[in-house]
């Protein structure tokens, strides 16, 4: 299944969340880290 993921850039970090999966959000120091973490979070959410 595919989900929409929104990415945000903060002053000192990056974040991402999947609006269709309540509570599925991550924060990391780099965009690469956030991409990995949100993929893991979506897998774990199932």
Q: Look at residue 25 and tell me if it is in a domain.
A: yes
pLDDT tens per residue across span 1-39: 899 999 999 999 999 999 999 999 999 999 999 999 999
Give the C-alpha separation, 24 to 44, whole Å: 9
Residues 6+ away with beta carbon under 8 Å from 19: 4, 6
Q: Look at residue 15 and tell me if it is in a domain.
A: yes
Give residue 1's pLDDT: 87
Domain that holds residue 29: 6-45
Q: Look at residue 1 and tell me if it is in a domain.
A: no
Whole-prediction pTM value?
0.91
Q: Please tell me the total count of domains within the chain.
A: 1
Paired tokens of 35? 């991409």
């Amino acid at each position: 299944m595919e989900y929409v993921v929104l990415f945000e850039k903060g002053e000192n970090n990056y974040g991402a969340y999947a609006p269709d999966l309540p509570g599925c959000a991550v924060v990391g120091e780099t965009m690469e880290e956030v991409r990995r973490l949100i993929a893991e979070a979506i897998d774990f959410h199932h």
